[in-house]
Amino acid sequence: MDYVKAVAELREYLAELNAAIDALDRLQSNTRRRGRPPAWMRDNKRTGRTKRTHFVTEIRSRR
């Protein structure tokens, strides 16, 4: 086996692990960030929810 190739693969794997660890650290932090959340975070929060616009329009039409 070529040692240079093995070392290059291990360094690439180390870079991937460091990126994963950094991502988990950012998720763990409890500080609230200002501004719009990323799209992947918004999509997770919206699952299972329905919009309430129908209810609001029904109330307005009754008045």
pLDDT range class, residue 49, cuts 50, 70, 90? low
Please tell me the predicted confidence (pLDDT) of residue 39.
Answer: 77
| The CA-based dihedral angle spanning residues 7, 23, 38, 43, taken in that order and rounded to the nearest 10 degrees | 100
CA dist., res. 24 & res. 63, Å (int): 50
Label residue 25 by pLDDT band (50, 70, 90).
confident
Mean pLDDT of 13-42: 83
For the chain, the domains span 1-29
Long-range pairs of 14-21 with CB within 8 A, sequence gap ≥ 24: none
pTM for this predicted structure: 0.45
